[in-house]
C-alpha cells in the first residue's frame, strides 16, 4: 500500500543491517534488492516482518537470489511508471499518538494545528485524486510545502519522510469559523466552536470524508432541534468523546469494543449505554445502545478536549441523503441545518461516511464498512480471470472492483433512490477504475430489475460489447460474501435472512436456506410466504404485516380483540381486503417482515421511520434469560418450509395468556432459532454438509445470531458469520464479485 511509510522503513532497516541496494513500488507491492552477507540479509528479512510500520500490511514475501551488482548505499527508487499501476491507496487513518502529542505540545511547531499528519496517520483515500500516491495527485497539491516541511519530507529519519499530505500552520490548510450565512466569527475558531457546541448551538464541522453536525449530547433541547432540522426523528446519533476513559463513563465496554474504538480505523461502535450515562435520551431514543466514536483527526482531538463533554457528531445531511462533502454543496445544504460552520480549505475529493460496528457473540462486526476501511482490499478466495465490477444492491449500496485476488469494496454510497447517492455511485465506479487501473470485463448485478444498480449495469454492458453481464441472486450474493470472508470455497448450508431480495422465481425472498458455493446455489428451504398488503406500505407499517401473518395463521378464525387490531381498527378491514384480493399484495418469504409482524403484535411499533427499526425494538426488549419456545414443526418436501404461522400462534397465545412482552419477544427469537437449526440439521442429513453460513441484515440481530450459533455449534456444525463484511446489503457488492469471479473462473477452466 502506498503512503504508509513502507519504503522509508525498508530504507532504514537495510541501512541498519549494512546492506546495499534499493526499494521500489512496482504496483503489486514493494520490490527490494539487497546485497550483503547472508547473516545481514537474514537479519533484514526478520526486521521486515517484525518491525513493519503500523499501516503496512505484508500479505507475503517472495525471495530469490540474483547476481550482485556491487551497488553501494541503499536507495529509494522512483515507482515504476509503466506496467501495472495497481498501487494501493490506503484508507484514511486516525491521528497517531506522536501527532496527538505534537498538537498538544505548546512548544511544537504544530501546536493546535488541526491538519497535522505524518506517514503513520492522516487523510489518504478521501484526498487522493488518482495514482500514484503523490502530493500532486492529492487535494494537497495546491499547498506548497514550506522549507521546514520540505526538510521533514526529505529526511529519511523523520516520521514525515515522504508523507504526502505533510503541512504546518505556515504552509498548510487553514481553519475558519463562520456563521451559517458565511460571516466570519472572530476569535480562535476551535475555542469558539467548542464553546458554541457546549452551549447547544449546532455547528457544522468539515471532517475527513464530509461535513458533520455537532452539538452538545447533554442538552435535550439542542438534540431535539438537531433532529427536527435533519428531519431524523428516531435514528440514533453518534456521540464523540475525547478518549476511552470518557467512553467508559457512558457505556460498558468489552475488550473488543475498546480495541475497535481506539483502532486506527476509528469506527462508530454501538455499545451498551450505562443507566447513569449523562447523555440525553434523544441521542438514541428508546435504545439501550449508544454509538460512540473517538476523535480521528487533530481537529476532533482539539475540539473534544476543549468541549470536555460528550457531543453529538452526525452526518451533515437531511434525512438519509448522502453526507455533504463539497464546499459549495455543503454551504447550500447545511445553511438551514446549522448555526455555525467550522470549515477549512483542504478539499475532500471522495465523500466517506463514518464506519459503524457492533459486538455480537464476542466479535466486533461491521455494520457499515466505510471510512478507515475503504478502499483496503478484501481477499477473494481465488483469482478472478478478468477484472469484475459489482454494482451492489439498492439500499446501503457499495460497489466492488475485483482484480485478481483482491476485492476493492467502496465506501458506503447510500440509498440509490436519492439522486445524490446515485451520482456518487457513478462517480465511485469511475474513481475506482482509475485508482486501481482496471477495465472490467464482467459487470455483476442484482436480479431486481428495478434497482438503479441493475439498470446501470445493463447500461454499461449495452455501451460496451466487450463487457459481460453477470446476474447474481440477492441471497446468493449474501451467502457468497459470508463464505468468501471465511475463505470457505466449498458448498455450505447458507441461512440468508433479510428484509427483501428479488428471488429467481420473481417473488420477493428474505427467509432463505440455500445450498450454495461461490458459483451456484439451490433454494433448499424458506419461511412460508405471506402477502405484503399494499406492497411497500407494508414495509413502512409493520401492523400490516401483523395483519398478513395473522391471516396466514388463522384466516377467518383470527382471535378478536387483539391490541394491534384495536389500534388500527379504522383501516383493518380495508387492508385485509387488499391482502385477500391479491393485487397490491406481493408475496414474500421475508424474515424481516416476520419480525415486523411480531413487533407490531407486541405493541412495539406500528410504523417505522427506518429499515429494521421494528426488529431492533423486538431484539432490544427481549429478556435474554427467557429460554421458552413455541412448538413448531418443519414442513418437509423437496423444499423445506419454516412455518412462521406456528410462531405467530405461539405469540398470540402468550399475549392472550398475559405473558410479558420481553418474555414473548425472547420466545420468538428462541423458536425461530430452533426452526433454523432444525432445517440445517435436515439439510445436513440430506447432503452431508456440515458448514452453516449466516448472512443477511436480520443477522445483525445479536440475540438471534447468538441463539442460532449456540444451537448450531451444539449440533456440531461449523458456523460462518460476518465480521469484516457487513451482513446487510452493504456486503452485496463483495458477494456479487465473488460469484462472478467463481463463474468466470469455471468458464476459463472449461
Ligand atoms: Zn501521525
Ligand atoms: Zn509547512
Ligand atoms: Fe439483503
Residue ranges of domains in the chain, CATH in brackets? 6-76 (3.30.70.100), 175-357 (3.90.870.10), 372-474+731-749 (3.30.420.360)
By three-state DSSP, how is residue 33 classified? Answer: strand
**How many angstroms separate the alpha carbon of residue 346 from the centre of ligand 2?**
14
**How many angstroms separate the alpha carbon of residue 95 from the centre of ligand 1?**
5
Per residue in 460-477, pLDDT tens? 999 999 999 999 999 999
Per residue in 473-516, pLDDT tens? 999 999 999 999 999 999 999 999 999 999 999 999 999 999 99
**How many angstroms separate the alpha carbon of residue 381 from the centre of ligand 1?**
34
**How many angstroms separate the alpha carbon of residue 233 from the centre of ligand 1?**
38
Per residue in 101-111, pLDDT tens? 999 999 999 99
Q: What distance in Å separates the CA atoms of residue 732 and residue 394, rounded to the nearest whole number? A: 10
**How many angstroms separate the alpha carbon of residue 135 from the centre of ligand 2?**
14
Per residue in 422-458, pLDDT tens? 999 999 999 999 999 899 999 999 999 999 999 999 9
Q: Is the pLDDT of residue 81 over 60?
A: no
Cell of 611: 429499515
Looking at all shown ligands, the one closest to residue 96's CA atom is 1
By three-state DSSP, how is residue 85 classified? Answer: coil
Q: How far is CA 479 from CA 513, 547, 630, in A?
A: 10, 31, 28
By three-state DSSP, how is residue 214 classified? Answer: strand
**How many angstroms separate the alpha carbon of residue 96 from the centre of ligand 1?**
4
By three-state DSSP, how is residue 379 classified? Answer: strand
Helix (H) or strand (E) holding 719, with range, is strand 718-720
Q: Please list, in sequence order, all residues whose beta carbon lies within 8 angstroms of the beta carbon of residue 290, skipping any fewer than 6 positions away.
A: 236, 239, 250, 251, 270, 271, 273, 277, 279, 283, 284
Helix (H) or strand (E) holding 530, with range, is strand 530-531
Q: What distance in Å separates the CA atoms of residue 225 and residue 106, rounded to the nearest whole number? A: 37
Dihedral angle, C-alpha 365, 369, 374, 376, nearest 10 °: 20
Looking at all shown ligands, the one closest to residue 173's CA atom is 2
- Which residue from 301, 220, 718 is spatially nearest to 490, judged by alpha carbons? 718
Least confident of 48-57, 168-177, 336-345: 48-57
**Which residues are in the CB-under-5-Å shell of ion ligand 3?**
498, 501, 729
Handedness of CA 582, 584, 587, 589 (dihedral sign): negative
Could you tell me if 424 and 351 are in contact, meaning their C-beta atoms sit under 8 angstroms apart? yes
DSSP-derived pairing of the beta strands 378-390 and 400-409: antiparallel
Per residue in 623-661, pLDDT tens? 999 999 999 999 999 999 999 999 999 999 999 999 999
- Ramachandran class of 688: left when φ > 0, alpha when ψ lies in -120 to 50, beta otherwise: left
Helix (H) or strand (E) holding 502, with range, is strand 492-502
Cell of 49: 516482518
Mean pLDDT of 581-586: 93
Q: What distance in Å separates the CA atoms of residue 100 and residue 103, rounded to the nearest whole number? A: 5
The number of residues making up the chain comes to 750
**How many angstroms separate the alpha carbon of residue 538 from the centre of ligand 3?**
17
Q: Identify the burial level of 558 via C-beta atoms within 10 angstroms of its C-beta, where 0-12 means exposed, 13-18 middle and 19 or more buried.
A: middle
**How many angstroms separate the alpha carbon of residue 166 from the centre of ligand 1?**
10
Q: Any idea which residue has 432541534 for its cell?
A: 225
Residue 101 CB neighbour total at 10 angstroms: 10
Amino acid at each position: 500500500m502506498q503512503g504508509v511509510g513502507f519504503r522509508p522503513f525498508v530504507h532504514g532497516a537495510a541501512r541498519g543491517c549494512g546492506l546495499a541496494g534499493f526499494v521500489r513500488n512496482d504496483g503489486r507491492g514493494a520490490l527490494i534488492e539487497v546485497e550483503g552477507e547472508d547473516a545481514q540479509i537474514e537479519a533484514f528479512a526478520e526486521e521486515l516482518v517484525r518491525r513493519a510500520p503500523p499501516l503496512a500490511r505484508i500479505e507475503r514475501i517472495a525471495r530469490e537470489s540474483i547476481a550482485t551488482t556491487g551497488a553501494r548505499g541503499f536507495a529509494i527508487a522512483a515507482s515504476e511508471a509503466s506496467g501495472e499501476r495497481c498501487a494501493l491507496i490506503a484508507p484514511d487513518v486516525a491521528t497517531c499518538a506522536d501527532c496527538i502529542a505534537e498538537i498538544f505540545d505548546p512548544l511544537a511547531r504544530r501546536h493546535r494545528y488541526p491538519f497535522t499528519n505524518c506517514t503513520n496517520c492522516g487523510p489518504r483515500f478521501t484526498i487522493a485524486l488518482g495514482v500514484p500516491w503523490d502530493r500532486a495527485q492529492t487535494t494537497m497539491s495546491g499547498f506548497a510545502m514550506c522549507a521546514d516541511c520540505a526538510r521533514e519530507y526529505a529526511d529519511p529519519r523523520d516520521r514525515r519522510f515522504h508523507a504526502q499530505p505533510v503541512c504546518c500552520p505556515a504552509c498548510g490548510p487553514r481553519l475558519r469559523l463562520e456563521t451559517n450565512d458565511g460571516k466570519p466569527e472572530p476569535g480562535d475558531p476551535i475555542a469558539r466552536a467548542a464553546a458554541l457546541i457546549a452551549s447547544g448551538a449546532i455547528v457544522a464541522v468539515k471532517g475527513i470524508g464530509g461535513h458533520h453536525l455537532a452539538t452538545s449530547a447533554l442538552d435535550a433541547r439542542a438534540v431535539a432541534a438537531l433532529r427536527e432540522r435533519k428531519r431524523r426523528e428516531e435514528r440514533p446519533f453518534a456521540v464523540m468523546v475525547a478518549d476511552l476513559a470518557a467512553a467508559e463513563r457512558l457505556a460498558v465496554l468489552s475488550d473488543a469494543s475498546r480495541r475497535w474504538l481506539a483502532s486506527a480505523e476509528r469506527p462508530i461502535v454501538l455499545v451498551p449505554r450505562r443507566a447513569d450515562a449523562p447523555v440525553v435520551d434523544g441521542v438514541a431514543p428508546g435504545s439501550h445502545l449508544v454509538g460512540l466514536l473517538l476523535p480521528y483527526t487533530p481537529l476532533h482531538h482539539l475540539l473534544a478536549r476543549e468541549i470536555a463533554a460528550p457531543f453529538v457528531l452526525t452526518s451533515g445531511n437531511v434525512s438519509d441523503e448522502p453526507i455533504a462533502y463539497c464546499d459549495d454543496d455543503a454551504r447550500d445544504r447545511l445553511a438551514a441545518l446549522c448555526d455555525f460552520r467550522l470549515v477549512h480549505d483542504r478539499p475532500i475529493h471522495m465523500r466517506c461516511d463514518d464506519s459503524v460496528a457492533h459486538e455480537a457473540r464476542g466479535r466486533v462486526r461491521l455494520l457499515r464498512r466505510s471510512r478507515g476501511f475503504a478502499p483496503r482490499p478484501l481477499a477473494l478466495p481465488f483469482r478472478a480471470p478478468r477484472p469484475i465490477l459489482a454494482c451492489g444492491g439498492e439500499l446501503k449500496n457499495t460497489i466492488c472492483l475485483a482484480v485478481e485476488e483482491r476485492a476493492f469494496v467502496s465506501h458506503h454510497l447510500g440509498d440509490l433512490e436519492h439522486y445524490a447517492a446515485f451520482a456518487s455511485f457513478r462517480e465511485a465506479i469511475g474513481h475506482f477504475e482509475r485508482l486501481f487501473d482496471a477495465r472490467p470485463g464482467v459487470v455483476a448485478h442484482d436480479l431486481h430489475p428495478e434497482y438503479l444498480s441493475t439498470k446501470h449495469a445493463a447500461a454499461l454492458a449495452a455501451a460496451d460489447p466487450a463487457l459481460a453481464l453477470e446476474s447474481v441472486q440477492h441471497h446468493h450474493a449474501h451467502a457468497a460474501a459470508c463464505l468468501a470472508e471465511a475463505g470457505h470455497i466449498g458448498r455450505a448450508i447458507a441461512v440468508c435472512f433479510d428484509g427483501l431480495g428479488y428471488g429467481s422465481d420473481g417473488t420477493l425472498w428474505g427467509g432463505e436456506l440455500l445450498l450454495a458455493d461461490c458459483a451456484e446455489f439451490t433454494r433448499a428451504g424458506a419461511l412460508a410466504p405471506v402477502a405484503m398488503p399494499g406492497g411497500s406500505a407494508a414495509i413502512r407499517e409493520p401492523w400490516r404485516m401483523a395483519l398478513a401473518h395473522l391471516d396466514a395463521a388463522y384466516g377467518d378464525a383470527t382471535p378478536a380483540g387483539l391490541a394491534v387490531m384495536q389500534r388500527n381498527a379504522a383501516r383493518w378491514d380495508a387492508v385485509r381486503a387488499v391482502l385477500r384480493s391479491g393485487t397490491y399484495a406481493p408475496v414474500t418469504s421475508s424474515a424481516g417482515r416476520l419480525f415486523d409482524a411480531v413487533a407490531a403484535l407486541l405493541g412495539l411499533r406500528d410504523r417505522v421511520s427506518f429499515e429494521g427499526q421494528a426488529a431492533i425494538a423486538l431484539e432490544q426488549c427481549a429478556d435474554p434469560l427467557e429460554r421458552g419456545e413455541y412448538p413448531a414443526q418443519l414442513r418437509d418436501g423437496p423444499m423445506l418450509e419454516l412455518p412462521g404461522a406456528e410462531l405467530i400462534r405461539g405469540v398470540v397465545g402468550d399475549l392472550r395468556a398475559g405473558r410479558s412482552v420481553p418474555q414473548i419477544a425472547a420466545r420468538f427469537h428462541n423458536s425461530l432459532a430452533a426452526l433454523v437449526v432444525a432445517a440445517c440439521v435436515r439439510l445436513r442429513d440430506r447432503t452431508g454438509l456440515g458448514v452453516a453460513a449466516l448472512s443477511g441484515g436480520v443477522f445483525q440481530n445479536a440475540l438471534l445470531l447468538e441463539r442460532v450459533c449456540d444451537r448450531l455449534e451444539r449440533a456440531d456444525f461449523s458456523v460462518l458469520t460476518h465480521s469484516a463484511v457487513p451482513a446487510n446489503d452493504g456486503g452485496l457488492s463483495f458477494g456479487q464479485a465473488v460469484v462472478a469471479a467463481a463463474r468466470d473462473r469455471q468458464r476459463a477452466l472449461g
